[in-house]
Amino acid sequence: MVWPMVAVALGFAGLAVLGVLAVRVFLEVRRLARQVAETSSRINTAAEELERAATRLPPPR
């Protein structure tokens, strides 16, 4: 009778560990998504600035 209870307890502990890890992964994915969005916005801004600067250049001779 002891072994089945130990097996159930270990199974529950394993599921709890997997749940904690899933939450940590979820939070890191959200953080990464925010960083990707911020970087994408900065790249778009830099591209627009480069395009504006390129239109002000005199034509090549």
Q: How far is CA 50 from the centre of its chain?
A: 28
Q: Is residue 12 part of a domain?
A: no
Q: Largest alpha-carbon pair distance within the chain?
A: 92
Q: Is residue 43 part of a domain?
A: yes
Q: Is residue 38 part of a domain?
A: yes
Q: What is the pLDDT of residues 18-50, one digit of tens each?
A: 999 999 999 999 999 999 999 999 999 999 999
Domain count along the chain = 1
Q: Is residue 45 part of a domain?
A: yes
Token digits of residue 49: 């600035």
d(CA 11, CA 15): 6
Residue 60, pLDDT > 80, answer no
